[in-house]
Amino acid sequence: MTTLSIFDQNQPQSPRSVTEDPAEIRRLLAEQGIRFEQWQTRDLPADATEAQILEAYAEEVAALKAECGFQTADVVSLNPDNPQKEAFRQKFLDEHTHSEDEVRFFVRGQGLFYLHLGDSVYAVMCQQSDLISVPDGTRHWFDMGPEPEFTCIRLFSNPEGWVASFTGEDIASRLPRYERLAGVA
């Protein structure tokens, strides 16, 4: 279930609030300038290709491109049997920013976005059908868990794709990881 847990950066072990109400999640994130939507999912085969996935969501992707000026869209997918899963997980676990919005639509599976906003950290457990758009310059990180299983559509303004600027802060290491927040620990 999609969940938003809000932490105080100075007391990061326990959230000060948690909600699973999609309307409340949308409202709380919107107050912080974060776009959160839930799209109608499509029935796709488990082995759907990137082309099939992008075709299934062509209308929504085209609307976002037109509205926000995105140039490209692709699909990223990771499964628990991937031998590089730990390296992929580590790549995104440190706080970073981007010079463009980071947009993800979860076609299947789940992942945890942490958004460092002022003195708070908003941990958003995104699930199938969730779209999140993290504005450029927003300090954040992503945890896919030790057994990642997700497929996401990504949209980019920069044709080079995912380019991060790491902050060097250690806050990501002080917050509960995916295992605890997903209840799999």
- Is the pLDDT assigned to residue 160 strictly greater than 70? no
Range of the domain at 59: 3-181
Q: What CATH number is associated with residue 108? A: 2.60.120.10
**Of all residues in the chain, what percent carry a pLDDT higher than 90?**
89
Q: What is the pLDDT of residues 34-82, one digit of tens each?
A: 999 999 999 999 889 999 999 999 999 999 999 999 999 999 999 999 9
Domain count, the chain: 1
Res 159: pLDDT: 67
Higher pLDDT, 139 or 157: 139
- Is the pLDDT assigned to residue 184 strictly greater than 90? no
- Is the pLDDT assigned to residue 156 strictly greater than 50? yes
Mean pLDDT (whole number) for 124-143: 97
Confidence of residue 185 (pLDDT cuts 50, 70, 90): very low
Res 46: pLDDT: 85
Mean pLDDT (whole number) for 20-38: 97
Q: Report whether 116 belongs to an annotated binding site.
A: no
Q: What one-character-per-residue DSSP string does the chain give? A: --EEEEEETTBTTS-SEEE--HHHHHHHHHHTT-EEEEPPP----TT--HHHHHHHTHHHHHHHHHHH---EEEEEEE-TT-TTHHHHHHHHSS-EE-SS-EEEEEEEEEEEEEEEETTEEEEEEEETTEEEEE-TT-EEEEE--SS--EEEEEEESSTT----EE----HHHHS--HHHHTT--
Cα distance between residue 118 and residue 154, in whole Å: 26
Mean pLDDT (whole number) for 127-149: 96
